[in-house]
Structure 1
Amino acid sequence: MKGSFRIGSVRGVALRAHWSVPLIMLLFAYGLARRTMPGFAPGQAPVVYAAAGVVGALLLLMSLVVHEMAHALTARRAGIPVRDVTLWALGGLTRMDRPATAGAACAVAVSGPFASLLLGGIGVGVAAGVEASLGWRVPVAVLGWLGGVNLLLGVFNLLPAAPLDGGRVLQALLWWRTGDRERAQRAAGRSGQIVGMALAALGWLAFVKGMSGGLWLMVIGLFVAGTAAAERRWAELFMALRGVRVAEAMSSPVVAGPDWLTVDRFLSEVAAQAGHSVLPLLDFEGHPSGVVRMRRLGRVVRAAGVAACTGCGDPGVAVHARRARRAAELRPGAPRHRGWPANPGHGRRPPRRHPHRSRHRPVSPEPPKSVSRRPRRPAAAPAPTGHIGREHAARTAGNHCGGGGIGLEHSVLSILEHTVLPTYDVDRNACR
């Protein structure tokens, strides 16, 4: 998630926090100190309420971590790769690959609410025991509040609405029943839209009647409805592309541009005529060397103040494909290096023969995530504007995992299935 930073790891799973987490924790601490604690344990000093508010907010944050780690560790036990866990304003999300079976999906979804309900029961039980034996009013109030919140969130997440955990359970059951993952996801998304709009309506009514918590419920409901709609559209896309082959989805010939052209010539001779938002690049041997996004290229050029490159008469001021997150520099005498390896994480960068920087600023062509390198064969340099036939493009195209080439006979879904779609559980978001 953008705007997040790493705060540690649990059992090998990276733990990250969004910038909104400190803000929401401060709001919880303030609410506990000003309203909740004085109501449960009146007659205490303000500093006691402040300390109780901070402790309660931190314990709630730890509860969120436990919930998300339940998702993550259950997924790892099921053989599902887990990327990281991120905490944010509405709870947390766990990024992982899609489960391979309905049983695994159901187990991962149930684990989070189960952990929350378990924590809630422990909190309420310990609070009752402390009150009966020691009579400590403030600790009892903190533990009782924490237990109640965990019980509430555990039950709330079991609502049968995607992207909540209950929606994941519903999707897994429908998947097991019908054998169709996408149809089950579409049904869970439709249920999520209905439940989300109902929650938003209830929140609005509560807010109109003077209950400030209704505004928060309305925000959560709108979030659930919006995310469920996105999941439903994604499922419908998968269903629509069933049986569609790569050859049917590709244009012929595939328009491409040489990677040695100047930026000015590339924009005027290739991009303007092609009219595409993304264009592949070819090296001198006619092999794909990268892809470049027109919007990003134009944005960087405008930011650098070189809408029309002053050095475009020099053929050395060229568009080059570089390593991911490394800009291609526009400078006189830039080396005409070869393109990308199949795995962007391997291979060596071209040597920097000209360490000095000119007034030309870098642009950022994208690495060819869908381009797989092949053994080089001597070939003549392609024309300034080129075309790749569908056969050649399909032979050199790899999947999103950096694997082997995708042929014309492969399904378009073989590409999309490697794309991770983030889906969220409100308050305890699990992204699968």
Structure 2
Amino acid sequence: MTRQWLRQLRPDPGRPLPDPAISPAAATAMTAVLGPEPVRWAVQTANTMAAEILGQVPEHGGGPAPLATLRRSTESTVLAALRLLLTESSGEGAALPDEALEGCREFARRGLRLDQVLRGVRLGHARLTQELTSAIEQYVPAGERLTELRRITEELFAHADTHAGLMAESYIAERDRWRGSDEAARRKTVDDLLAARPVEPEAATRRLRYDVARTHLAAVLWCDDTEDPLPASERLQHTATALARTVGTDSTLMIPATGNIAWLWLHAPDDLTGLTDRARAGTDHAPGVHLAVGPPAHGMAGMRRSHYGAREAERVARLTPGNWLTDYREVRLVALATAAPEHAHWFLHDLLGPLASDGTRVRELRETLRVYLAEERSLRAAAGALHVARNTVTYRVKRAEELLPTPTTPGNTLELRLALEIARTLLG
């Protein structure tokens, strides 16, 4: 039989379906081959695979960037497997997708062992086999299921064997290249600093070509997929250089984290007044580049402190896309309150009740109440901040308070304000 049943694949409505992690161009190309619904099925299956791999081999994780790389790798693997099965190809001459090669490079740079890499491959293919077995039960006529199941199992086994071999070869080649590079020595020093392991300051300064004893301003830069012809690495470098020029320093340390993410440290200027506003207005950032800045901090411990502040600012920025530059000092309260996202959702729903609902009107009421409380219940100040009439503020605050589970009192204002700030980030 032909494999046209693969074109009937549909995502399970009862399971999470994130946006594709691969580039829009790659998603469009695969949609032309497989169809839109099988691609959505592949994205959902790959997301499940990534979650299982992280659960069994947590070394694959470590933050938003490694998770994004893992998701791109699993998505490209599932889509490549579907394409092979649909064309009933033997898989001869197969090559790793670019996203899987990117994963190999990151695994080598982060120091994952080969057995951890290959265990992730095996877990992923096991999940894919289970998902396709369930699909055969759903989409293949009963009389043809056993034969099709045997064929699919044999072809997936061969594909998994080839894929694992190519991953091992690419990982070993990248690991050997990385271990012999100056970049590896610099990354090792940075990793030691970030892990608070003992580091000799003069040796670190010499290896990094950056004075670790100064006051630092750390940043995380990352790129969206755009149509810009410049590679992500060049756009990140351009933005880092422009930021240093705006800050007024020529002493920088930039470490690639993944293909489209970089870590940056600058020597902080003596005058920090209005630094964020100057950076927003004066930095010639490349298209699709975002920047999260940590708090200024001194010495080697300060490099770690500022970096982790920047990482938290990055996390908050990814929850609320829009601004190209996010300063930790402007979002640190929300960063602290959303460190455990599920707990934060419970908290805001407990405090806000129906005021935590979706919808433009409810968001308008939430924002008005938030500004009103931030302005110490001044109708005039709130109206000025929101650019509306005082009567409008009065009406909205009254309506918002009617939606709250409990009345506002001086005793619960702090918790209510915190819930409104969390809602602004998590709910919009």
Q: Where on the TM-score scale, by shorter chain, does this alignment land: which range?
A: 0.3 to 0.5
Larger Rg: 1
Q: Which has the higher contact order (CA 8 A, sep 6+)?
A: 1
Higher-helix-fraction structure? 2
Normalised TM-score (structure 1)? 0.33
